[in-house]
Structures are given as C-alpha cells and as structure tokens.
Amino acid sequence: MPDSINPSNNNVLNSYNNSTNSSQQSTQQTMMSQQNQPTNATNAVSTQNTAPKAVVGLFSDFKLAEQSVKQLRANGFSTEEINIISKDKHQSGQTTELTDDSIMDGTMTGGAIGGVGGLLLGAGALAIPGIGPIVAAGPIAATISGAISGGIAGGLIDWGIPSEKSEAYSNQVSSGSTLAVIKTTESKVAQAIQVLTSTGATNIETHNAK
C-alpha cells in the first residue's frame, strides 16, 4: 500500500481508515474472483495484515512522548515496536533531566519510560555529526549506530522510510523535537495513530517499512 501521509491530525486517522477500507474492498473483490484459489486469497489477506509499517509522529515536549510511550505500552505495544529519538539537551548545555545515569538505569524524567517496560534499558547517547548527542531508545538505536552514513536519517532509510522524509525527521530532532517511530503490523496502525494523536503528536504519517 502506498505511504499514507496527512499533515492534519484531525484527518490522519480518517484518511488512513479510508485507504485501508479501499484496500480491503479490493482484496474482497480479488477473493471473489479467485474462488478456485482460496488458499492464495487467504495468503494475500494474511500478508497484508502482517506487512511491517512505521507510524511516525513528532512531539514538541519530551514529557508528551513519555505519556505516549505509557499509553502505547498500556495498549499492548511491545518495547520492540516503540522507538524514541530525542536530542540530548543535557549534553548540549540545555536544562533537561536526560542524563547518562538516567539512560543506564532505564529511567528518564522521573522514570516514566523506565516504569513502562524499561524502554531505555540498553539505550545510550549517540553523537551524530551536525546534530550532536542524541538519546535513542528501542531497536532504532542499533539501526542508527549501525548506519554507515547519515546518522538518524540513515537509520530511518534502512527501515524503509523515504530519504526525503528521513532527512526531514532528522532535522526536526536537531531542532529539539522528539521523534516517535512505531514499527508494527498493518493491523495495529490505526491504534498507534490514535494513541499518538491523543498524546499530542503532530505530523503523524505512516510508511511502508522493512
């Protein structure tokens, strides 16, 4: 399915649902025309529901991102699905509670993230050229650190997010926004969009992922 991008949070879920309904109708029509091949039709539906997707949102306040993590965990999303990237403002000389100690013991800003499944356990600060120190939590941390070039953008591109969008997200983090990337299945995309919207995320978009 093509990327679903809508700059308005009031319409993003409706837009996604409309495109999903159209896709489902198309799948149903295909199934009806392939009654002699029921196994293939079933496999097509199964593949659609399990195809990896990336739901991306931006937070202007890190505490909003923390609340979003808590809501996602409460709704059954695992720490393997939730990824947070934020500029380490403490290391940049700005006031914040993001410190190396808080990263190592799995707590941030009073332990909000550490208390919802240890999202930051094993996470650390990464030095990104042109951006400075960042904190990356979730599987995206390894992807970013393993990217040969491009830092945040390179890691996102490796996940299948278009290069132009990846560069834009990297610039947003550099400007102080916190980036949330929910890498999940097709069947959980609508739920992820709802949680991000309700917790204050902006510029919510969905992308096909690897």
pLDDT at 195: 97
Give the distance between the most distant pair of CA atoms in the chain.
Answer: 66
Q: What is the pLDDT of residue 29?
A: 53
Q: How many angstroms separate the CA atoms of 113 and 41, rounded?
A: 41
Rounded average pLDDT over 91-111: 38
> What are 140-150's pLDDT values in tens digits?
888 887 765 67
| Bridge partner residues of 55 (DSSP) | 182, 206
Position 164 scores a pLDDT of: 96
Residue 157's alpha-carbon distances to 87, 152, 168, 169, 192, in angstroms, are 19, 9, 12, 11, 21
**What's the pLDDT tens digit per position in 16-31?**
666 555 555 555 554 4
**pLDDT of 158-206, one tens digit each?**
999 999 999 999 999 999 999 999 999 999 999 999 999 999 999 999 9
State residue 105's pLDDT score.
Answer: 37
Q: Which residues of 65-84 are buried (b: 16+ CB within 10 A; e: fewer)?
A: bbbbbbbbbeeebebebbbb
What pLDDT, on a 0 to 100 scale, did the predictor assign at position 111? 41
Domain ranges within the chain, ordered by starting residue = 51-208
Q: What is this structure's pTM? A: 0.69
